[in-house]
Every structure is written in structure tokens, then in C-alpha cells.
């Protein structure tokens, strides 16, 4: 049976409040840790150089709280790596600096790991009976514990981006834009290859139609079950989200027997507070605007600024 905890930090976002909420979510989750843990990888969500206050990237204070908890729970001698891979437009060496992770690394004595560097292994997996090969960092595959720390936010391409989609960002290949044509299958494939042992969802500042300080933290021992709960908070039917539907079909997780623990808040309240947005409407609206632009440019012969170039 999968377990998901939904809790809340107080709204003033003091470091202590965040630490308490993270600690409480771990305790309530009651994860059954393996006996021997030497290395832990914490996968952040640093999709671009957008500050955590935008609601787009993982708040370093959550990572700090996770590190404190793990050291207290497992031991001071564990090696903790805070990880992210390069993306099409984002270089980890800059995002770690810009988003405050270099400072965190020094303050907490943890290493920063660029998943696009070091030993990369080509791994194969079958999705819908098709073989998919993905490059994955060997350290991620061999880590004793993978903690997945996604954001609570909507996504223009896939509806929501949470635990499963965050692991898409762990694929070593920087130019992941090339996977977008087959996005659902690739998301499910990487999650079949790398299991998130624990998911801690950063909903301190959630982002839907706009960013909102919600102070939410979710913890789950099953990435798919966690995403199902998050989808409900965001106002989606989880089975209407392509990659969640496919992940369920591919047995990436168990969503039929999820125990949801609501602490200091409830799913209903969280859903009410979330600034929902229709990603379908957003895509249609942008799609229509860009189509109109293309038609206008063809008819008029006007110039298109290069940043709008498809």
C-alpha cells in the first residue's frame, strides 16, 4: 500500500517552520529505510534559472531541512548529493549558483552532482512494448536512497509536473527538448529505470495560474501515488494526465490502495487554495496566438523577432 502525507508549514515561512514540517512529513510517512545507507541522492527541480520565489524551482530551504532530517535519522556519516542534470537551455553549474545551491552545499557540507557529467550508462526499458534507451548517471542508479523533491505546479505541456516529471529532468542528456515528441513515454521510462524511494513535494510556493504561498509539503513513498494526490490538489483528474495514465498502465506505482494522511490541512482545503489554471486553455490560447502571428507574418511580410522563432 502506498502512503502519502499532506502537511503544512506555517505561512510565515521561517526556516524552523519549514524544518518542522519536513520532519513531520517524514515521520508520518514512516518510510522503511534499508539497513545500510551510504549514499543519498536528492533530486531537485531546477528546470531553469528561475528563483524559488517564482514557484518554478525547488526551494533550497526544503533541501536544507531534508538534509538535516536524513542526518538525524540515518547518521551524520552518510554521503548526500544534491543532484540535477543539464537541460536544453539550463546549465547546472549556473543554476546551482544562481538558485542558492552552492551556498547550501557549503553550509550543509553536501556535494552538488551534475547528472549530465561523470559516468553515464545507457539503460533500456520497455514502454508500450517499445524499447526506449536513456542515458542515466551511474551514481543515480547505484545510490542507496533517492529522494525526489519536485515542485507543486502546473505544466504547459503535460498538465502537472511533479514526482514523475521531475525524474525526466534526471536524464543525463542535456538536450531533452528532443524527447518532447514522446514525452509521456520518456517520463514513464525514466521512472521505471530509477525508482524514487521518497518524494517530498515542495508546495511552499505553488504555481498554477500564478505563484502562491501555500506552505504545503507532501511526502510519499510511491511517486505515482504522490502525483495522483497532487493532481487532485491542482484540480485535475489524474487519469486524464497522459503520463500518469501511462505510468499506471505500466505499473510504475500503486494508486489503488493509497493511504492519505492529512496533517494540519486537507486535500479539500489545499485544492481550494490552489490557483488553478487550465493547461489545455493555456495551450490553446498560446497556440492560437502563435498561429495568428504566423498568418500575419505571411500576409504582411513583417519581421518576426528572433526570440519568437519556432
Partner 1 sequence: MLRVGVIGLGKMGQLHFLNALHMKDVKLVAIADKSKRNRKMVQRYNVKAYDDYTVLLDSEELDAVIISLPNFLREESIAYAAEKGLDIFVDKPLARTLAEATRIAGKARKEGVRVMTGANYRYMDCVQRLKKMLDEGRVGDVVIATADLIMNGPLGHGRVPTPVPEWWLSKEKAGGGALLDLGYHLIDLMNWMFGDLRVEYSSLGYRFQLPVEDGAMVVLRSGKSKMNCCVNVGWFSKSIFPDFNFRVNLHGTVGYTSTDNFAPKNLRLYAIKEASRNLLRKATGKKLKYLSYTYYYHSFFKILELFFDGIQKDTELPISLEEEIDVIRIIDDVYKRNGADLNG
| Chain residues that interact with partner 1, rule: CB under 8 A | 48-51, 54, 56, 87-91, 94, 97-100, 102-103, 177, 289-290, 296, 299-310
Q: Which is nearer to partner 1, 100 or 215 (CB)?
A: 100
Shortest Å distance, C-beta 133 to partner 1: 23
Minimum gap (Å) between residue 246 Cβ and partner 1: 24
In the complex with partner 1, the residue whose CB is nearer, 32 or 306, is 306
Cβ closest to partner 1, residue 93 vs residue 268: 93
If you write DSSP's letter for every residue of the chain in order, what string do you get?
--EEEEEE--TT--HHHHHHHHHHHHHHHT----S---EEEEE----SS--GGGTSS--HHHHHHHHHHHHHHT-TT-EEEEEE---SS--HHHHHHHTTHHHHHHHHT-EEEETTSS-EEEEEEEETTEEEEEEEEHHHHH-SEEEE--EEEEETTTEEESHHHHHHTTSS-S-GGGGGGGHHHHHHHHHHHS--SEEEEEEEEEESSSEEEEEEEEEESSHHHHHHHHHHHTT--GGGSHHHHHHHHTTSS--SSPEEEE-SS-HHHHHHHS----HHHHHHHHHHHHHHHHHHHHHH-----GGG--
* Residue 88 vs 124, nearer CB to partner 1: 88
State which residue, 99 or 193, has the beta carbon closest to partner 1. Answer: 99
User: Minimum distance between the CB of residue 289 and partner 1, rounded to whole angstroms?
Assistant: 7
Q: Rounded to the nearest whole angstrom, what is the least distance from the CB of residue 89 to partner 1 in the complex? A: 3
Taking the complex as a whole, how short is the minimal distance between the CB of residue 238 and partner 1, in angstroms? 27
**Nearest-approach distance from CB 153 to partner 1, in angstroms:** 13
Looking at the Cβ atoms of 89 and 284, the one nearer to partner 1 is 89
Amino acid at each position: 500500500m502506498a502512503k502519502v502525507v499532506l502537511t503544512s508549514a506555517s505561512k510565515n515561512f521561517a526556516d524552523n517552520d519549514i524544518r518542522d514540517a519536513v520532519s513531520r512529513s517524514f515521520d508520518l510517512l514512516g518510510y522503511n529505510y534499508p539497513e545500510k545507507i551510504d549514499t543519498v541522492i536528492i533530486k531537485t527541480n531546477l528546470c531553469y534559472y528561475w528563483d524559488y520565489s517564482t514557484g518554478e524551482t525547488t526551494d533550497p530551504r526544503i533541501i536544507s531541512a531534508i538534509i538535516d532530517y536524513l542526518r538525524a535519522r540515518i547518521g551524520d556519516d552518510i554521503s548526500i548529493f544534491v543532484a540535477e542534470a543539464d537541460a536544453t537551455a539550463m546549465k547546472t553549474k549556473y543554476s546551482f549558483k544562481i538558485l542558492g545551491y552552492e551556498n547550501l552545499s557549503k553550509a550543509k557540507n553536501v556535494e552538488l552532482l551534475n547528472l549530465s557529467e561523470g559516468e553515464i550508462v545507457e539503460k533500456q526499458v520497455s514502454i508500450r512494448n517499445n524499447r526506449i534507451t536513456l542515458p542515466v548517471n551511474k551514481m543515480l542508479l547505484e545510490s542507496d536512497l533517492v529522494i525526489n523533491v519536485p515542485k507543486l505546479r502546473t505544466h504547459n505541456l503535460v498538465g502537472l509536473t511533479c514526482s514523475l516529471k521531475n525524474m525526466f529532468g534526471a536524464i543525463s542528456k542535456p538536450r531533452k527538448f528532443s524527447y518532447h515528441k514522446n514525452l509521456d513515454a520518456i517520463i514513464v521510462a525514466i521512472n521505471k529505470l530509477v525508482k524514487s524511494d521518497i518524494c517530498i513535494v515542495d508546495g511552499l510556493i505553488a504555481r498554477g495560474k500564478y505563484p502562491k504561498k501555500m506552505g504545503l509539503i507532501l511526502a510519499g513513498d510511491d511517486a505515482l501515488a504522490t502525483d495522483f494526490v497532487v493532481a487532485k490538489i491542482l484540480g485535475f483528474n489524474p487519469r486524464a494526465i497522459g503520463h500518469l495514465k501511462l505510468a499506471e498502465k505500466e505499473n510504475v506505482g500503486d494508486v489503488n490502495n493509497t493511504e492519505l494522511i492529512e496533517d494540519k490541512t486537507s486535500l479539500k482545503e489545499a485544492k481550494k487554495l490552489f490557483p488553478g489554471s487550465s493547461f489545455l486553455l493555456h495551450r490553446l490560447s498560446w497556440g492560437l496566438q502563435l498561429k495568428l502571428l504566423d498568418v500575419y507574418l505571411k500576409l504582411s511580410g513583417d519581421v518576426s523577432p528572433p526570440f519568437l522563432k519556432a
